[in-house]
Structure 1
Amino acid sequence: MDGPRGTALLLPGYTGSKDEFIPLLSYLLDAGYRAVAVDARGQDETVGSDDEETYQQEALAADVLAQAEALGAPVHLLGHSMGGHVARAAVLADPHPFLSLTLLSSGPAQVGEERQLQLKLLLGALDTMTMAQVWEAMQKLRPVNASPTEAERLRLRWLRTHPSHLRVVGRQLLSEPDRTAELALLTALPKHVLYGDQDDTWATGLLQDMATRLDARRTVLTGVGHSPNLQKPAETASALIDFWAHLPGA
């Protein structure tokens, strides 16, 4: 093989980062794909500003278009959770830099009722508490189930995240409109909806309906919640590779 079979651009979710795709990377590389995982501006190691306008969805989508161009578009685009909403906004702004779109555990509109309540509590806390204080409060309510080393890594990642990113994107997740009909009009763009059967951020019925409305390939992983990339990376990578490999012209 003279070069990679294709390039994939991977966008993380709301409180995540590029690191959450690490379990996928070796599988994609072994299959011949170049995969590039990025933070959104204000996430983890990517610098953000206090200007809330820089975190609006249109600005984040413009970043994705610039990243695709820098990678030598066209690329396969994947967005996890909130990253799926940003990915959708990017392809709706300009579908030409993309070979395909995968929505990984990413629903058609605002998050479900339980997640809405959690988001509202977080946004309220960010108005009166420091990021360190918010982290401590979250651990009391819902401790991280991880080794001490991993828990410390997650704490430091949280502290590096800009609170303005969390505020703006959190409000977006509470009000995200259903743009499925717009996305379905991009009939030349192959689409893939991939999620776990135990997703707790969007009802799985909504995810199934979205896939139908998009005429998209649908992959459901059993025994998996909101992060297939972390919970079953081999199966997630296999589904992605199979989708990309069977696209026209692959």
Structure 2
Amino acid sequence: MSTPRFLTLPPGVRTRQIETSVGAFAVLEALPVSGVPERWPALLVPGLTGSKEDFIAVLQTLAQSGRQVIAVDMRGQFETAGPEDPQAYTFAALGNDIDVLAHTIGGGEPLHLVGHSFGGLVTREAVIDGRTKFASYTLMSSGPAAIVGVREHAGRTMISELPEAGLEHMWHTRMEPEALSAGVPDDIIAFLRKRLFANSLTGMATMTEQILSAPDRCDELAQVEVPTLVLYGEHDDGWPPPMQSEMAARLNAECVVVPGAAHSPAVEAPETTAAALTRFWNAAETRSLG
């Protein structure tokens, strides 16, 4: 669970809806203070129990490098509506959404793509299918295949409890106690509760099944010619850091370890994370245009 540090939108960041051929998506959009983006845009995709708000702390900084930066709620997440059809929440279906969003945002021009945790498994679908030309691709605290360790255990518990106990049980037995023990402020706890109960129950159950059974697609991803970055916290409790480092080597990708961060570098170390992304994006554009 990612816990935003704050919910007040910084200057230059606004909420909006993006209309596409596959539906409307709730997003946070950041623009340079000048209002004129001079670089290619970026699309940020959150994790399973997250939302666009997980990127609030980095949006303004990322936009100041001269680009439009958009963080999205995926289908069935928080403020983006989703159907009760489980097939709408498979990797293939969600990856298709990313393709459509990228075309809508970029108008056919290259776009930087970032996927956090489960969002990394979704976004790689769009990268592998080759329908969209991405300027760069970043896997943030994501892995080569199904989630492991303590988060795998939490996911299996969720799958066993959701059908009968629902989101209320999940909130009271796991998410609220975790937030309270971490000293999360009351207003953020209220937001986390609101966000959880806004999610599609069908979507959450299906996406959890997906993250627990994800195949290893690194060999396919490595065949795609796109600058790739693997970025994760040194204390990540999702996919172990050595596993992510090995994935970076398999992908011939750059690898950045964020000191002091765990599974949500954009929340836990926003300055370091934003600096790493900006450097990587700028370098990718320089190579592409050079």
User: What pairs with 1:58-69 in structure 2 (closer than 5 Å)?
Assistant: 58-69=92-103
1:120 is matched with 156
What's the CA shift for 1:217?
0.8
Contact 2:99 2:132 in 1 (8 A): no
Counterpart of 1:57 (choices 84, 87, 91) is 91
Match of 1:88 in 2: 124
Structure 1: distance between partners of 2:197 and 2:149: 27
CA deviations on 1:204-239 (whole Å, 9 max, x unpaired) are 111000101111111111111000000011110100
Question: Is residue 70 of structure 1 aligned with residue 104 of structure 2?
Answer: yes
Which structure's relative contact order is higher, taking Cα pairs within 8 Å and 6+ residues apart? 1
Q: Distance in 1 between matches of 2:113 and 2:37?
A: 19
1:249 to partner: Cα distance: 3.0
Which of 21, 41, 54 is residue 55 of structure 2 equivalent to? 21
In 1: Cα distance, 2:167 partner to 2:250 partner: 39
CA distance in 2, matches of 1:21, 1:44: 14
2:288 maps to what in 1? 249
Which residue type is aligned with residue 215 of structure 2? P
* Structure 1: gaps (5+ residues): none
Give the corresponding residue for 1:38.
Answer: 72
The equivalent residue for 1:3 is 37
What does residue 232 of structure 2 align with?
A: 195
Large movers: runs of 4+ above 6 Å: none
Deviations 1:49-73 (A, max 9, x none): 1110111111100000000000123
Aligned partner (choices 213, 219, 235) of residue 256 of structure 2 = 219
Whole-Å separation in 2 of the counterparts to 1:199 and 1:190: 23
Higher mean C-alpha deviation, range 136-145 or range 67-76: 136-145
Contact 2:144-2:247 within 8 A present in 1 as well? yes
- Taking only aligned residues, the RMSD between alpha carbons, in angstroms, comes to 1.5
TM-score by length of 1: 0.95
Question: CA separation in 2, counterparts of 1:143 and 1:10?
Answer: 24
What stretches of structure 2 of length at least 5 have no aligned partner? 1-33
- Output aligned runs, 1:80-229, within 5 Å: 80-94=116-130, 96-139=132-175, 142-144=178-180, 145=182, 146-186=184-224, 188-229=225-266
How many angstroms does 1:94 deviate by?
1.7
1:132 is displaced (CA, Å) by: 2.2
Is the Cα–Cα contact under 8 Å of residues 42 and 161 in structure 1 kept in the other structure? yes
- SS across alignment from 1:28: helix
Q: Which moved more, 1:70-79 or 1:139-148?
A: 139-148
Which secondary structure does the structure 1 equivalent of 2:165 belong to? coil
Q: Secondary structure at the match of 1:194?
A: strand
